[in-house]
Each structure stands twice: as structure tokens, then as C-alpha cells.
Amino acid sequence: MSIFKVETSASKKVRTDTMFAVRMHSYGGPEVLKYEEIPRPKAGAGEILIKVHAAGINPVDWKIREGYLKEMANRTLPLIPGWDFSGVVDSIGPGAKKFEEGDEVFGKGDLLRNGAYAEYLVMREEDVEYKPKSVDHVRAAAIPLASLTAWQSLFEAAGIQSGQSVLIHAAAGGVGHLAVQLAKWAGARVIGTASKSNLDFLMELGVDEAIDYQATRFEDVVHKVDMVLDTIGGETQKRSLKVLAKGGILVSIVSQPSQEEADSFGVRQSFVFVRNNATQLAEISDLVDSGLLIPTVETVLSLSEAYYAQELNKAGHTRGKIVLRIV
């Protein structure tokens, strides 16, 4: 049962300058998320106001809620979480020229600004791109943050090239399942780890080898790969160093790998914290419309179920993404 006040049809009829949103007023567990009616934002200079149709769920959402990233920036509370969105341009601020009202758009929000767990979202137009035409808003909202993370890890940090090999941990997850497809598109040989229930899914994605991490220690069967994409951290990250070829690279999206440990194995290391890049997002959108990149959405929930969506994401083992349908 939802812990939020649910919007009624009557309240929908009278709202003109307000919107419903989920906000966190303090750091803590899912109980700090409040579904409430608040003033509708307006687009400023160089910004657009977007009517949000769907918002993707990512680990950064609940990590910010729990206060793990407080040291990275000073965020003013209350804060609307959710930094993956797909929607329609509602209005345009002064000086914004890229889009017109009614355009379908998607993107990754700024972690220092209010997010997409809301009916409306203000974005800098430079961080927004046209939504892929071949997918609906729910699937489009599953793409931006995870695909940009995978793109920046594979192509910027690692410089993956055709003929090279890559091990992707949690390859059935939000970042992992898109990273598999991007690596295959680049011509790499891909090895993915997942639970037994997701091995068939990995084969559908195109992995060359799928490993059940619960039954097999990956370092016993993987040797001399050119890259490891670490989406887990901890002991998995440390064990991954030994499967790299000399000069190979461990790229983590969880925590900074040890330079000293990487040096001891004769390999490189990198930490990727995803950033906005509309040019990359446009290329990703083209891949989606070409059928070369297919987002998977396992669970769709309502805005008032955001707390539950975050807890599902935190529990792990999600195949693809969880998305909030707002319209």
C-alpha cells in the first residue's frame, strides 16, 4: 500500500500553477520521500519546462536520499530526486532556441538540481535531446543515465576497440545490459556475469560468454581481457584486477580503484562518474532508432510508488531498469 497521499481526479481539474512531485525533506530511508502538491516551476533563461511522462530509477537516487553523496555538493532540501526523464516540452525560457513546444525529449538531469519525480521538470536545453522515435516514453526514460555511463566507460575511459575483450559485471542490470550492446556494436568480445536466472537474457543481448557468478568465480574462467567494467565494487573490483591483460583497464562506476593495486598487476584503472553530454545522447538515440540498442524495462510503477521503486533498485537483481510512469 502506498505511503503517499494519492492524487484524486478532482484535484487534477483545479491545478494550474501547481504540480505533484515526490520530494525528500531530509536524508534517510524511503520514509523521507513525500508525495505532495508544490508550485510548478518555470523555465528561466536558456531553459525549458518539460511535462514529464516517465522517470527512470537509478542507484544514485537512493544514494543521494541516504546521504552518501552529500560530500560531493551542497544540495538544498527539500529536493526532488530522479535524474532520468522522458517527456514533452511544455514551455520555453528566454534565449532557448533548440526546441519548440510539443517536442518529445529525454535526458539526464543535473544532480545538483531538482529531478524528474514530478509532473514538470526544468532543464537547461543544452542537456536535453530529442527522444528516440522508436520507443515510448517509459522505455526512453530508461536510457539516458545508464547509457551515458556505459558510453563514457567503454569509449572515453577505456577506448574499447573492435577485436578487444571486455568483462561486464552485473551485465543484466541497468548499466550492464546497455553496456553489453554498446560493446558488441563496437566489435568487442563480451563476457558478462549475472545470476543463473538472467543467463538466457545475457545471451539474447549478444554476450559471447555468460557466467553465473553464484556458481563460478569469474577469475577462474576469465583471463587476459582488455577491459573490466565494474558495476559492483568491493571484493569484485579487487578480484577483477587479476583477469586483465597487461596494460588492460579496470573501469569502475562505483568507487575509485586503487592505483597501487592496479600498478602491482601492470594494469590501468579509472573511475567514471557520469556527466551530461547531449552529443553522446544524440548518438545513443540514433542507435536506439536503428535497433542496435534496446532498453529493457522490467518494472513500471506510478509516481506515488517512488519509495518502493527505490527500494527495489537498492535490492538489486533488476533486469534492465525500473521506471515511473507519470503520464
Distance CA 321, CA 299 (A): 7
> Are the CB atoms for 205 and 181 separated by under 8 Å?
yes
pLDDT of residue 13: 56
pLDDT of residue 317: 86
Q: What is residue 75's predicted lDDT score, i.e. its pLDDT?
A: 73
Mean pLDDT of 5-30: 75
Does the pLDDT value for residue 1 go beyond 50? no
What is the number of other CB atoms lying within 10 angstroms of the CB of residue 73? Answer: 9
Let me know if the fold of 9-143+295-325 is the same as that of 146-271.
Answer: no
pLDDT given for residue 72 in this prediction: 67
Read off the pLDDT band of 5 (50, 70, 90).
very low
Residue range 222-246, pLDDT digits in tens: 999 999 999 999 999 999 999 999 9
**Across residues 295-303, what is the average pLDDT?**
98
pLDDT digits (tens, 9 = 90+) for 309-318: 999 999 988 9
Note the Cα 138 to chain centre separation in Å: 13
Burial environment of residue 252 by CB neighbours within 10 A (0 to 12, 13 to 18, 19 or more): buried
CB contact set of 234 (below 8 Å; sequence gap of 6+):
none
The grid coordinates listed for 279 are 552529443
Whole-number pLDDT of residue 112: 87
Alpha helices in 143-252 (DSSP H): 144-151, 174-185, 199-205, 218-221, 234-240
The CATH number fitting domain 9-143+295-325, selected from 3.40.190.10, 3.90.180.10, 2.20.25.90, 3.40.50.2000: 3.90.180.10
pTM of the prediction? 0.94
pLDDT tens digits along 53-96: 999 999 999 999 999 877 765 678 999 999 999 999 999 999 99
pLDDT 10s digits, 170-193: 999 999 999 999 999 999 999 999
Mean pLDDT of 219-223: 98
Q: Which grid cell is 271? A: 573511475
Question: 112 or 294, which is more confident?
Answer: 294
Q: Which fold has domain 146-271?
A: Rossmann fold (3.40.50)
Per-residue pLDDT, 11? 45
- Domain ranges in the chain? 9-143+295-325, 146-271
**For the residues 261-283, what does the mean pLDDT come to?**
97
pLDDT at 288 over 60: yes
